[in-house]
Structure 1
Amino acid sequence: MLSRHKPITVVLKFLTIIFFLFFNSCENKKQENITNRVLKQASIFYAKGFSINYYDGYKVIQLNSPWKGETSSYQYILYEHEKPSNVKGIFIKTPISSIVCLSLTHISFIEKLQQQHTIVGISGCNYVSSPAIKNRIENNEIKEVGQHEVVNYELLLSIAPELIMAYGIDQSSTAKINKFSSLGLTTVLNAEYMETHPLGQAEWIKFMAAFYNEEEKADSIFNNIEQEYLKLVEIAMSANNKTTVFSGMPWNGAWHVPGGLSFQAQLFKDAGATYLWADNQEERSFIKSKEVILDEALNADFWLNVNAYHSINEIVETDKVLENFKALKQQKIYNNNLRENAALGNDYWESGVVNPHIVLKDLIKIFHPELIEHELYYYKKLE
C-alpha cells in the first residue's frame, strides 16, 4: 500500500520545491525592483552637466559630456553603508573625509560647504587666493600634487585621498583618469566650466555636496545665490540705456571672444549691457581677426576682461592701434583681476564661480553705477 503512494509523495515534494523556488525568485525580483526604484531626483534648475538620482541605500550621479566634443557619460555610485551590487559605475563611500583638487574652482565649492578641512592636496598651491586654504598649505596640511600635466603620483599614493576631483579638457584626460585608476585612486570629473549660465556653474555645489552628504546645505546655499542673482537681474533691467561691451585681447593677430551662448555673454546680458556678439551661437569662445574687432568694436562703450593687464599703458604698449577704441579713449576699461595675488593667481577664477551674484553686482556697478551701491570686488578700472 505504501509503495503505491510513494511516487505521488515524490511528485508532491518536487512540486513543493518548484513552488518554493518560483516564489523565492519572485520575491528576489520584487526586492530588486524596489532597490532599483528611483526614490527621489535632485532638483537641478540651471546646470546641464549632471543629474542625481536617489535609490534605497545609495545615490547615482550621472555626468554628461565632461568636456567639449565628449559624448560619453560617467556614472558615480555613492553609498554610505552597504555597497550596492545591482548597479554599475564608480563606487564611492560617503561622506568622504579626504580629497585632492586638481582645479582651484573645486576648493571654493568645498569651502562654501564648510568642508575645507577635507582638502589634503591641490594642483597649483601658489595660485590659491583663499586665506583659509593658504594657511593650511603653509602648515603643510595641504600638499602640492603637481601642476599642469606633471602629476606627482608618488605623493598622491602617500597621501592616499579618498577622492581626486579632476576635470577634462580633451581625450588626453582619459589617460590621466585611467592612470589614477590603475594606482587604486578614485577619480571624479567635475565639469562646471562647461555650463553656459553663471547659475548653472554655481549649481555644481549640489554635485560637490553629494560626496559629503550635505545636499540640504547645498540647496540652501544655492537658493540664496539664485535669489540674489535674480533680484540683481531685475534691477539691471530697469536701466534706461543699454551700454555696449566687448572683451578680450588680441594674440598673434587673433582675438578670442566669448560666444553668444557663453556664461560670459549671459553675465553681460543680465547686467543690462548689450554684448556685441550676443547673436553668435558658440557656447565657448570663438576667433575673430584683430582687424574685424577693430571695426566692429571701435565705438563700444566698455571693454572688459583684458587678460592679465593692470593699466591702459600696458594695453597700448602691446599694440598702438588699440588706442583707437572709444572705450580706451574714454577710459572705460575694466579687468577682473582686482583680487590677483603675487603668483598671478586670480580669485575671480577661484571663487567667482560660486559667487555669480557678486560678479553680476560688479558688472551692474560698471555698466549702470547709478542703480546700486557697491564696491567692486572682482573687477577694477584700469587707469
Structure 2
Amino acid sequence: MPSVRSLAPGRRQAAAAVFLAAALTLTACGGASGPPADAKAAAAGKGCIEDFDPAKDYFPVKSTVKHAENFTLRYEKSYQVLTVKEPFPKGKPESYVLVKCGAPKPELTGELASAQQVTVPVKSLYSASTTHLPLLTETGTLDVLTGVASAVAISSAEVLERVRAGEVVEYAKDRTLDAEAVIGAKPDVLMTQGTDDPQYPKLRQAGIAVVANAEWLEPSPLGRAEWVKAMAALTGAEQRAGEVFDTIEGDYRKVAAKGAQAVAAGRPVEVLPGTMYQGTWSMPAGGSYAARLIKDAGGTYPWASERGTGGLQLNFEGVHAKGGRAPVWIADQQWKSTADAVKADSRYGQLKALTGGAVWTNTKAVGPGGGNDYFERGVLRPDLVLADLFALMHPDRAKGHTFTFYELVPKA
C-alpha cells in the first residue's frame, strides 16, 4: 500500500461570471462614490462585501490547521494568506493573498508584495489532481469546478456527469498542459498537483492564479485530509470544511484506538506492503503516510523503523528475506485472482501470504476509465482507509465490516 497519487482535474467559466468578477474588482478598488446599486445587489448574492469597512472582520469563521505541516493560513480582516511551504519537491515556499470579494486589494510589502492575489470565493477552478475533487464534493462547492487535466482517472460519478454535460472541460488530455486553452477559458485559479510545470509562469503572466496543492508531501493521513481547509479558503466553505474534517478526525481516532487495543492484547499483525514495478519493490519508509496507516491499524512490517517519508527501492530477494513470511500482503494491483499475481511475477508465488495467507488489494472502487477511488476519495477519507486496514488485519474484531477501498484477492 505505497503512498501513491493519481492525477486528474477541472475547469469552466461563463462570460457573465467574468463580467461580474471584473465589475466587482473595479468597484471594489475604485472611486469614492462606491459600487452602483446593481453591483451591490450582485455582490450580496455572491456573499461579497457591499460597503467595505476596514475595521470589520470579514472572516467570522476561521480554519485552524492542526495536522497539516505543508500549509498555513493567516487571517487579516479582509484577506487571508495561504502559504504552501513546499509547493513541489524542494520548491521554495509560495504565499497567496486571498482577498474577500468586494474588498480593495491590500497594499502589501516584503515577501507578500509580489504574491499572487486571488479574489475569493472563486467562481471557477481548474484542478490538476483527482485528490482535489472530494474536497469540493464533500463541502458542497463542486459548482466551481470548471476544468480537469483529464477525465480518464476520475472515479466520482458526480464529477464525470459534469464532464459529460460540458460543465467541466479537460485541459491536459495527453498529459501536456494546453496553456492557450486555459488562458482562453480564464479560470480564477488553477490548482496544481504538487509538481511544477513549465507552463505555469505563462498562466500567471496571463492573470490566472496558480495555487499549489501539495498534500502528497504530508507524512500523516490526517495531515493530507486537512487540505480540505486549504481548498475551503478558496471556495469560502470554511464552516463545512471544519465540520467534515472534525468528523473524519474523530472517526480516524476511534479506529486507531481499536488498533492500539488489538496490539495491547497481543502483537501487531505482520503485513507486507507494496508490489514490484519494473523489477523494483517500492516499500514505504517508516515515516511515511502508508507506514502510519499500518501502525494505526495495529500492524507492522520489517521496514517500519526505516527513517524517511518516501519509499524504499528494494529488490525481490531482500523483500522476500525479511517480509516473505508475513501472513497478510497489502498490494495495489487489480488482480482477479492470485494466479494473476503469479502471472505478473512468478516470484510472488514464494510469498506466504499468497500460498497460505491473505492477499488484499486497494482496487475495490475503480471508475469506468480505470480511475481508482482509493487515490481520489481515500486521501480525504483516511478514516475509511484505516477502517478497511483494521478489518483486514483483525477480522475477528471487525466482523460485518463493509470494505470501501480494499478487497480480498481470491485464491486461484
Which TM-score tier does this pair reach, normalised by the shorter chain? 0.7 to 0.9
2:316 aligned to which of 275, 285, 290: 290
CA distance in 2, matches of 1:341, 1:121: 19
Letter in 2 for 1:186: A
CA spacing shift, 1:159–1:331, aligned 2, 3 Å: farther
- Does the Cα contact within 8 Å between 2:361 and 2:409 map onto a contact in 1? yes
- Does the Cα contact within 8 Å between 1:244 and 1:274 map onto a contact in 2? yes
CA distance in 1, matches of 2:260, 2:174: 41
Q: How does 1:135-214 map to 2 (within 5 A)?
A: 135-147=161-173, 149-169=175-195, 173=196, 175-214=198-237
Letter in 1 for 2:81: V
CA distance in 2, matches of 1:343, 1:68: 29
Indicate whether 1:59 and 2:59 are aligned: no
CA apart distance, 1:253: 2.6
The one-character-per-residue Cα deviations of 1:307-365 (angstroms, maximum 9, x if unpaired) are: 34342111101222211111111241101011112322101101101111011111111
Give me the identity figure in percent: 27
What is the match of residue 134 of structure 2?
108
CA distance in 2, matches of 1:344, 1:131: 13
Give the 3-state SS of the residue equivalent to 2:313 in structure 1. Answer: strand
CA spacing shift, 1:310–1:285, aligned 2, 3 Å: farther
CA distance in 2, matches of 1:76, 1:148: 29
1:130 aligned to which of 149, 152, 156: 156
Of structures 1 and 2, the one with the larger relative CO (CA 8 A, separation 6+) is: 2
Letter in 1 for 2:65: I
TM-score by length of 2: 0.80
- Does the Cα contact within 8 Å between 1:66 and 1:167 map onto a contact in 2? no
What is the match of residue 47 of structure 1?
68
What is the match of residue 344 of structure 1?
370
2:271 aligned to which of 245, 270, 295: 245
CA apart distance, 1:298: 1.3
The one-character-per-residue Cα deviations of 1:256-283 (angstroms, maximum 9, x if unpaired) are: 1111111111000010111221101120
CA distance in 2, matches of 1:160, 1:283: 37
**Root mean square deviation of aligned Cα:** 2.1
Letter in 1 for 2:106: P
CA apart distance, 1:234: 0.8
Give the 3-state SS of the residue equivalent to 1:126 in structure 2. Answer: coil
CA spacing shift, 1:141–1:40, aligned 2, 3 Å: closer
Letter in 2 for 1:73: P
CA spacing shift, 1:43–1:99, aligned 2, 3 Å: same
- Does the Cα contact within 8 Å between 1:331 and 1:382 map onto a contact in 2? no
1:230 aligned to which of 244, 253, 256: 253
After the TM superposition, which of the residue ranges 54-63 and 299-308 deviates more from structure 2? 299-308
The one-character-per-residue Cα deviations of 1:149-183 (angstroms, maximum 9, x if unpaired) are: 412223223322111111233xxx15232122133
Aligned residues: 345
Name stretches of at least 5 consecutive residues in structure 1 with no aligned partner. 1-33
Give the 3-state SS of the residue equivalent to 2:261 in structure 1. Answer: coil
What is the match of residue 380 of structure 1?
407
Give the 3-state SS of the residue equivalent to 1:60 in structure 2. Answer: strand
1:304 aligned to which of 314, 317, 330: 330
CA spacing shift, 1:40–1:135, aligned 2, 3 Å: closer
TM-score by length of 1: 0.86
CA distance in 2, matches of 1:341, 1:131: 8
CA distance in 1, matches of 2:306, 2:88: 20
Letter in 1 for 2:161: N
CA apart distance, 1:148: 6.0
Letter in 2 for 1:208: M
Q: How does 1:55-94 map to 2 (within 5 A)?
A: 55-70=76-91, 72-80=92-100, 81-86=103-108, 87-88=112-113, 89-94=115-120
CA distance in 2, matches of 1:321, 1:164: 44
The structure with the largest alpha-carbon Rg is: 1
Give the 3-state SS of the residue equivalent to 2:325 in structure 1. Answer: coil
CA distance in 2, matches of 1:153, 1:182: 11
CA apart distance, 1:41: 7.7
CA distance in 2, matches of 1:189, 1:147: 20
- Does the Cα contact within 8 Å between 2:155 and 2:368 map onto a contact in 1? no
